[in-house]
């Protein structure tokens, strides 16, 4: 996903091809097509497209992928969304008297 970028060259994604079994799970769960499978191993296609959601690391049966979820783009998106939801809930609370 070449158009998507959060912060270039600061991601926490680590991939050890020596541990990779080539199962392709990372390809299936990554929302930004950071991985592909070639030569019976996963290949990092676009590390800069990683949003550090952690789906690849959580689903890798071989433990070949590590990432610190909650520090990248996905966390920023969730925090932004949650802050708006919490603000709206605070602003429109049913138990607050309006008179």
**CA-wise closest residue to 60 among 35, 32, 33:** 35
Burial of 76 (0-12, 13-18, 19+ CB in 10 A): middle
CATH number reported for the structural domain that contains residue 81 in this entry: 3.30.70.20
Q: Which domain holds residue 69?
A: 14-91
Residue 6 lies in a domain: no
pLDDT in tens, 56-71: 999 999 999 998 866 5
- CA nearest neighbour of 65 among 75, 76, 52: 52
Q: What is the pTM of this model?
A: 0.65
Classify residue 36: in a domain, yes or no. Answer: yes
Rg for the chain, CA atoms, rounded: 18
More confident: 64 or 88: 64
Predicted confidence (pLDDT) at residue 1 exceeds the cutoff of 50? no
């Amino acid at each position: 996903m070449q158009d998507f970028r959060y912060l270039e060259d600061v991601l926490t994604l680590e991939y050890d091809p020596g541990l990779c079994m080539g199962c392709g799970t990372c390809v299936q769960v990554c929302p930004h097509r950071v991985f592909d499978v070639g030569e019976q191993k996963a290949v990092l296609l676009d590390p800069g497209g990683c949003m550090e959601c952690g789906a690849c690391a959580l689903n890798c049966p071989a433990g070949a992928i590590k990432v610190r979820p909650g520090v990248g783009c996905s966390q920023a998106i969730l925090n932004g969304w949650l802050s708006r939801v919490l603000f709206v809930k605070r602003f429109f609370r049913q138990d607050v008297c309006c008179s």
